[in-house]
Amino acid sequence: MHHPLAARIFAREVGRIDTLGAAAHRERLLEGVAGRVLEIGAGTGISFNDYPSTVLELIALEPESYLRERATQAAALAPGPVTVVDATAEQIPFPDASFDVAITARVLCSVCDPAAALAELHRVLQPGGELRFYEHVASTNPRLARCQRALDLAWPTLAGGCHSSRDTLRTITRAGFAIEQCERFRFRPNILAAPTSPYVLGRARRA
């Protein structure tokens, strides 16, 4: 997992996107999170300061070296205990039932195998554990959905593996999670983000 150009563009833009609405979305995503928490694809660690004090420990996975370095720096300044780990979502280096909550925030679009990643999240969550997700997804509008599929012929190569047309909600349920709450909305921080503007934010439960 090495995307030096995409990682640097992401690191430069993530703060600006936060001010345009992503920070408010993430605040809702993390509201009430407690216990031992796993976040996959932590990026620069921009979320670390947003976790509530009810989180006893946060483990943050980030496989991209430049972003992981930035996340490690952010972890040192975080108000709670954060450990940044070099690992992918498809191979989480922790035993079964290790976590109370798992967090995915704008990352399932770019993992190599989302089904494998969600199977791993299901494995490492305790029975009854919670998956919180905030992801851009395939549009329910047929015309935009066709545009997304066409874009994905080239876009992942240019954008660090990001796909615009993934049906993430279906993949979540197929991994064995029961979706308890889900909000659909549009978020377009700039005109280039139009194909990735359909979003979902919600919670699912591991059986």
Q: Residues 43-94: pLDDT tens digits?
A: 999 999 999 999 999 999 999 999 999 999 999 999 999 999 999 999 999 9
What's the pLDDT score for residue 112? Answer: 94
β-strand partners of 57: 36
Query: pLDDT tens, 130-143?
Result: 999 999 999 999 99
Lookup: tokens for 199: 């979003």
pLDDT band at 7 (very low <50, low <70, confident <90, very high): confident
Give the predicted TM-score (pTM) of the model: 0.93
Residue 59 C-alpha from the chain's centroid: 14
pLDDT band at 117 (very low <50, low <70, confident <90, very high): very high
| Buried/exposed code over 175-188 (b: 16+ C-beta within 10 A; e: otherwise) | bbbeeeeeeeeebb
Under a CB-based contact definition with an 8 Å cutoff, are residues 199 and 137 in contact?
yes
What's the pLDDT score for residue 9? Answer: 79
For 111, the enclosing helix (H) or strand (E) is none
Q: What is the mean pLDDT of residues 150-167?
A: 92
Under a CB-based contact definition with an 8 Å cutoff, are residues 40 and 61 in contact?
yes
Dist CA 36 CA 23 (whole Å): 22
Q: Is the pLDDT of residue 1 over 70?
A: no
Phi, psi of 37 (to 5 degrees): -125, 140
Q: Is the pLDDT of residue 27 over 80?
A: yes
Q: What is the mean pLDDT of residues 96-109?
A: 97
Amino acid identity of residue 29, one-letter, is L
What's the pLDDT score for residue 180? Answer: 98
Lookup: tokens for 34: 């407690």
